[in-house]
Structure 1
Amino acid sequence: MRIRATVAALSGTLALSALAVPAAHAGDGSAAPRLAASVAGGSEAAGGQRAAAAGDIKVTKVTVNDGKDVSIGTTAKKRFKLAFTATAPSGIDVTSGFLWLGRDVDSAALITPATPAEYNPTCVDVNATTSTCTLYVTADPSRLRNSGAGVRWNAWAAVTDNEGKQVELEDLKSDVRLQRASRLTVNASPEPVKKGKTITVAGALTRANWDTKKYAGYTKQSVKLQFKKKGTSAYTTVKTVKTDTKGNLRTTVKASVDGTFRYVFAGTSTTPAVTSAGDAVDVR
């Protein structure tokens, strides 16, 4: 394993809703990518060989968050991995970059490392010509919009080989989605209840609204009501219930034996799966 440092990075503050590319931060070292200058259409890479290197230097894979979708709420920032696997005849010296979404990178929403130092990736050699370089980027929900959920963000990368040649690639496709974090509750009543009487199982499915920065009901979604008999470990599905226009859930069942109810939501492209805590009922 080798740790290589980038020479320059974008602004340490996130620019997820920015209309312009952040300014550069100067750094040290001589063979690393000049990210900010490249994004802004500035100077070429080392040796003036940015365009010439395009045919020899390639990014073969972009991996975000180890291949798992990223769930983001309304306040807490989410830090996750961004990895580039790149190859060149002379081998890879360093690869760094960020995620972007929009018509073009110059006017895009960006998800970047939170500090200049975090542009410095850890690179692991796969073989003599190929390396995987990993860095961390941070998504700030205060700068996210709902339109960014459930879609594939693009990746921008600056790749330098061991001969000092560099290529900037801005239309790389990432392998995961950002999702609006979800919450699910359950409440079975009355407790205790007589055998044969009606139990009402209520709940609510909500998700992060990145436009308002609040949680709101997820409407018209199918949610499974499940039950686990006391003394057992497995839940079984009782029925499927749909959320109303405010994201609320409400259904009834007949009391038969002691046990625990829960709701289970399978998730959608924009919203992750979620399971409520269990609510036990005492049947007498």
Structure 2
Amino acid sequence: MRIRATVVAVTGVLALSALAAPAAQADGGLGNTKITKVVVDGDNAVTVAASSTKSVKVSVTATDNSGIAGADAFSLVGPGYGYLSTAKPTCVKVNATTSTCSASVLVDPRVGDLLNANAGTWYVDAWIDAKDGDFVWKQKAGSFKVQRASQLSANATPEPVKKGKTITVTGKLSRANWETNKNAGYAGQPVKLQFRKKSSSTYTTVKTVKTNSSGNLSTTVKATVDGYFRYSFAGTSTTPAISAAGDFIDVK
């Protein structure tokens, strides 16, 4: 999709190269047609893995005194010349004046729909037509995140361990690389080591550890009571938050 002249067709959805992206236009319209709400993928956060497809639903709610007639395909624009276009939206009436128009785009990093530089904040550009001929065209009608799927592990050893002895907790933080279609270590990221007593349902933070150049984590703590250790990552603008499954330590 990026820095190439071809246009990739993905199940009725166009993923365009930066060179093929449409020229920017100013917001505009005719009459009193208004966009009132934009929702992408349910919560405005899209997580895409390294080597699998992701269907992303875009819903735009609009209103006009005469009612809504339809919508053009929604354009999704992101960093690094990111550009996607949905199929033709289907509009469902909410009431006499308001409708919600929805369409999906199927994203597949394996065919170049996303590069790593495209992760971050994206925007929806929408054109909505009213039944009386009015319309609204709005760039950045709504925003959402497109993020590289994250993975996090934790392993506490030795087990069992005597009370007061040293426990080593290792792990790895990685994320999707859309260009190699594999997961890769996420370097230099602060990750919290957390502990939950066997009798508790709540984790508390013990310390913060940074990943090394390969995304690996390692630190030591003293064994006190039976419980679970895990690593927890708060996330960044390009990578979602994630917590590893807790690893149980039996303290003798």
Same fold (TM over 0.5): yes
> Among 183, 188, 197, which residue is 1:215 paired with?
183
Hey, what's the Cα distance between the residues in 2 that align with 1:248 and 1:207?
Answer: 12
Shift of 1:213: 2.0
* % same residue: 50
**Aligned with 1:193: secondary structure?**
coil
Which residue pairs with 1:148 in the alignment? Answer: 118
Q: CA deviation at 1:14?
A: 3.9
**Residue 97 of structure 2 corresponds to residue 129 of structure 1:** yes
Cα deviation 1:50-76 (Å, max 9, x = unaligned): xx9634433233221223311111111
Give, in whole Å, the separation in 2 of the partners of 1:177 and 1:222.
21
Check whether the contact 1:220–1:244 (CA below 8 A) recurs between aligned residues: yes
Q: How many residues align?
A: 239
- Matched residues in 2 for 1:250 and 1:128: separation? 60
1:204 aligns with 2:172: yes
Secondary structure at 1:66 match in 2: coil
Higher alpha-carbon deviation: 75-84 or 245-254: 75-84
Alpha carbons of structure 1 residues 249 and 11: separation in structure 2 relative to 1, 3 Å: closer
Aligned to 1:112: 85
Structure 1 pair 240/133, CA: closer, same or farther in 2 (3 Å)?
Answer: same
Indicate if the aligned counterparts of 1:230 and 1:260 stay in contact, CA closer than 8 A: yes
Q: Distance in 2 between matches of 1:229 and 1:53?
A: 60
| Residue range with higher mean Cα deviation, 52-61 or 226-235 | 52-61
Identify if the C-alpha distance between structure 1 residues 62 and 187 changes in structure 2 by more than 3 Å, giving closer, same or farther: same
Q: Which residue among 269, 272, 279 is the counterpart of 2:240? A: 272
CA contact (8 A) 1:16 1:140 kept: no
The Cα of 1:16 is off from its aligned counterpart by 4.8
Q: Which of the numbers 136, 139, 142 marks the counterpart of 1:171? A: 139
2:5 equivalent in structure 1: none
Deviations 1:230-264 (A, max 9, x none): 12211111111111111111000011111111111
SS of alignment partner, residue 20 of structure 2: coil
Rounded Cα–Cα distance in structure 2 between residues aligned with 1:81 and 1:13: 12
> 2:89–2:101: 8 Å Cα contact kept in structure 1?
no
Other structure's SS at 2:117 match: helix
The match for 1:100 among 63, 76, 96 is: 76
Aligned equivalent of 1:189, options 152, 157, 161: 157
Residue of structure 2 equivalent to 1:61: 37
Question: How many Å separate the matches in 2 of 1:257 and 1:54?
Answer: 68
- Match of 1:162? 131
Query: 1 CA distance for matches of 2:235 and 2:44?
Result: 14
Whether 2:51 is the aligned partner of 1:20: answer no
Q: Over aligned residues, Cα RMSD in angstroms?
A: 2.8
Q: Deviations over 1:84-119 (max 9, x none)?
A: 12222311122242233269xxxx643334xxxx53
Q: TM-score, normalised by structure 2?
A: 0.83
Q: Aligned partners of 1:70 and 1:182: how far apart in 2?
A: 12
Structure (1 or 2) with the larger CA radius of gyration: 1
Could you say which residue in structure 2 is the equivalent of 1:247? 215
Could you list the runs of 5+ residues in structure 1 that have no partner in the other structure?
A: 1-9, 22-38, 41-51
CA distance in structure 2 between the aligned counterparts of 1:132 and 1:158, rounded to whole angstroms: 13
